[in-house]
Amino acid sequence: MTQAPEKYVGGSVPRKEDPALITGKANWTDNIKLPGMLHFALLRSPVAHAKITNIDVSAAKEQAGVVAVFTGQDLMDEWGSPLICGWQMTPDQKAPDHYPLVTDEVNYLGDPIAVVAATDRYTAKDALEFIDVDFEELPVVTDLEAAASGGPFVHEDYGTNESYTWNLDIGEVDQAFSNADVVIKERYLQPRVLPTPIEPRAVVANPDPFNGGFTVYTSTQIPHIAKYVLSILTKVPEQKMRIVAPDVGGGFGCKLNVYAEEAIALALARKLGTPVKWVEERSENYLATTHGRGQIQDIEIAASNDGKIQGMRVELIADMGAYLQLGTSLIPVLGAFMYPGIYDFDAYSFKCLSVFTNKTPTDAYRGAGRPEAAYAIERVMDALARRLDMDPAEVRRKNFHPKFDEPRNQPAGIQYDSGDYELTLDKVLELADYQGLREEQRQRRETNDLVQLGIGFSTYTEICGIAPSKVVAALGGGGAGWEMASVRLLASGKAEVVTGTSPHGQGHVTSWSQIAADALGVPVEDVEVIHGDTASSPWGRDTYGSRSLPVGGVAVHLAAEKVIDKAKKVAAHMLEASEDDLEFVGGKFSVAGSPDRGVTIQDIAGAAYLAADLPEGMEPGLSEEHFFDPPNFTFPFGAHICVTEVDTETGKVKVRDYFAVDDCGPVINPIIVDGQLHGGIAQGLAQALYEEAVYDENGNLVTGSMVDFLIPGAPELPNFTLERTVTPSPSNPLGVKGVGEAGTIGAPPAAINSVIDALSHLGVTHIDMPALPFNVWRTIQEAQGGRAGTRDLDVSGRPAQTVDNVDDKGGESL
């Protein structure tokens, strides 16, 4: 008989996924080899904006090993629709037709023009050289303000670059500003970043000889959404389409999309009647996979002299790139609800102007809209503290919502689920030895140390658990937000969990096993989690927005509870007892008070399938499913402190320590949560200090390879010191909140606030991301009238050169 299991939830169960991943046994899309499989390569535009006046593919077709060459025009009959944007943010949102291959105009560097299918990928790629395209170049717009203020236009027919303008106005904002003692007005830039999963995108499309349909293996975060969207794009009926997400080597939001290449793979498999494969190269990944961020943020807060915020105005210009991909238009609006952070006030206005540019489309990148918002509010809180000569921790504390465990209104018109913000702040102050750090900083300043110490705060929250279907629809979303799980006990007493989430690094197999094992009373190793294949997991809304646990993991729990409800009926029948007298402990139903009179869950499972003696009218089997659509999002939060050492001679920033106290409700698996935070914080620090996708004025991606796009590695990062508090969410019965994006949201403002804090006594009040050495050095130089790198610095704390104050209430600016 199986041993009565311990409780798994809350324990650091080793990740079941890891042995395969670290011993080379994972099944990546590129590992798939099918008989007769062809490979395709895409000819991508070498210019950012041009009319195509002629394409000649005849020479390419002649190359040995080339099977077919198609232009956009050749494939037009394949499509049921242009590529789809799933979000209609305003009724008049402009979304240009965006076919998988262009037909007459290219709009960004890398826009696909033609496709070559050949016997191997090298032949396909080499043949691209033999395609002749004549371009008539058009003017290019890459700068956001230029795009917002007029031509040149990316899509000439619109006569504007505006895709949409979205507003939110809550409370008496103008009044709050006119009554304020202090107004702080700042402009922040969110450089574009490149998501850079270890595994670039890859797709294999395989015609199914038995039903005339197709199986598409694709490195995606969203097999279920892809099934629906690809059926519309390619006219393959949904029931004839099977999507498989094999092992996926990271996504970070950029695989939350349905891309041209996936549609092209299907179209070629259909036209050529044979399997086809495409695997993205790294430089292609940088050109053609969606980018993240890309915003100009104007933020203004009104406050009283004691540091209490009374109102906030935010105006964004958001870079859509050349087209709208699946979620492009949603991203800045997702942030709209998060600019107020964890601060309590009641007048807020937000306006977002979204514009087209001749650049790769933007879309979700870890945090998607929320890191941008958290950055702006956390930067401006520091600016307020400096202006009022207050401690940055105290100015935050003064504005926190008080502790709450039921939904509470916040300034942007939504309800936070639960929060205890002071607790995380108190803990992180203690963890970091805040007073000790300030003392060290004072000494370094006093001795005019060339390396100064910075202490940067971020007390963030985020909206995650993207779910309530009604809210998704009200926001203009074309899809729902529920999640589905089915849980079955097999005749042997082992369990299978089918989930609609689609993990690509987050450890769902382990976490869902823990949840199911606890509910079913079986050993964790007896649970198999099935995911990422629409044939075996037909329902799901997939993985993004740190939704998988608070929606999908909860669905697993609820489905497992249904199994236990049924098992109890079987147990009562087997024990000839009343259900009310049964208790379920350690995988065994026993009659209360008679522990020896019991039956194990394994025996019940056997009986349920044998079906020889079940309660009257009961269906055989022990398998249940649950669709969970929660009433609200979840709002994890945390307090982070980034400690930097900034070399005033060279501008080099070293992250010496990073302290984070996060609250994601009860934790299913502490090592997974720590891992998610490690990765997230690393990505946040990367954005703050190293990474930027730079375009020149002709629309060339200057940082088109890993040599130019700096991704920090272990040597650049400190050991993170993590702690947690636990504030359960009322949004779901497990009380859990998501954590997958928390680090990426908390880290960037903590890092930049830290760099500014290190240099504030030298008059530095602002620095843009990424705080690369030259950027930091130049900022010191500007603040110090050219004295950077010397010991002859003005340490009075006021800018030696005035840095453009922007309002008559003493606000500071760039």
Binding footprint of ligand MCN on the chain (CB under 6 A): 197, 250-253, 366, 504-508, 511, 543-549, 553, 664-665, 667-669, 672-673, 676, 679, 736-741
Nearest residue (CB) to ligand MCN, 454 versus 680: 680
Within a 10 A sphere around the Cβ of 239, how many other Cβ atoms?
A: 10
Q: Distance of CA 628 to CAs 469, 625, 736, Å? A: 10, 10, 14
Task: Show Cβ contacts of residue 86 under 8 Å, excluding neighbours closer than 6 positions.
Answer: 225, 229, 326, 327, 330, 477, 478, 479
- For residue 72, give the H/E element and its range: helix 72-75
Helix axes 742-759, 670-689, angle to 10 degrees: 40
Number of Cβ within 10 Å of residue 92's Cβ equals: 10
To which H or E segment does residue 442 belong?
helix 434-446
Helix (H) or strand (E) holding 300: strand 292-303
What is the CB neighbour count within 10 angstroms for residue 348?
A: 25
Q: How far is the CB of 550 from ligand MCN (least distance, A)?
A: 6
Cα 381 to Cα 228: distance, rounded to the nearest angstrom: 44
Report yes or no: 518 and 8 within 8 Å, Cβ to Cβ: yes
Please, which residue, 295 or 506, has the CB nearer to ligand MCN? 506
DSSP state of 763: T
CB of 734 to ligand MCN, least distance (A): 8
Least distance (Å) from ligand MCN to the CB of residue 332? Answer: 17
Q: For residue 142, give both structure tokens.
A: 């890459």
Residues 759, 766: Cα–Cα separation, whole Å:
10
Residue among 42 and 549 whose Cβ is closer to ligand MCN: 549
Find the shortest distance in angstroms from Cβ 288 to ligand MCN: 18
Phi-psi region of 682 (alpha: psi -120 to 50; beta: other; left: phi over 0): alpha
Nearer to ligand MCN, 302 or 734 (CB): 734
The residue with its CB nearest to ligand MCN is: 505
**Residue 232, CA distances (Å) to 2, 49, 82, 236, 805 in order:** 48, 28, 9, 7, 53
In the complex, minimum distance from the CB of residue 365 to ligand MCN, in angstroms, rounded to a whole number: 7
- Select 12 or 103, whichever has its Cβ closest to ligand MCN: 12
Beta carbon of residue 440, minimum distance to ligand MCN (angstroms, whole number)? 34
SS (H, E, C) 603-650: HHHHHHHHCCCCCCCCCCCCEEEEEECCCCCECCEEEEEEEEEEECCC
Q: Give whichever of 203 and 667 is closer to ligand MCN, judged by the CB atom.
A: 667
Q: Closest separation between CB of residue 23 and ligand MCN, Å?
A: 18
Q: How far is the CB of 508 from ligand MCN (least distance, A)?
A: 5
> Shortest CA distance to 540 belongs to which of 240, 532, 28?
532
State the nearest-atom distance from the C-beta of 249 to ligand MCN, in Å.
8
Nearer to ligand MCN, 543 or 623 (CB): 543
Comparison of 297 and 511: residue with beta carbon closer to ligand MCN: 511
For ligand MCN, give the closer residue by CB, 309 or 667.
667
Give least dist CB 530 to ligand MCN, A: 16
Report helix, strand or coil for 791: coil
Residue for token pair 């080099």 = 652
341 versus 679: smaller Cβ distance to ligand MCN: 679
Residue (552 or 598) nearer to ligand MCN, CB: 552
Shortest Å, Cβ 801 to ligand MCN: 41
User: Considering the complex, what minimum distance in angstroms separates the CB of residue 481 from ligand MCN?
Assistant: 12
Query: For residues 680 and 468, is the Cβ–Cβ distance under 8 A?
Result: no
Q: Are 522 and 482 in contact (CB under 8 A)?
A: no
Name the residue nearer to ligand MCN (CB basis): 186 or 483: 483
Complex with ligand MCN: residue 8 or 278, whichever CB lies closer: 8
DSSP assignment letter at 112 = E
3-state secondary structure of 360: coil
CB 333 to ligand MCN: min, Å: 17
How far apart CA 470 and CA 481 sit, in angstroms, is 8
What is residue 139's three-state secondary structure?
coil
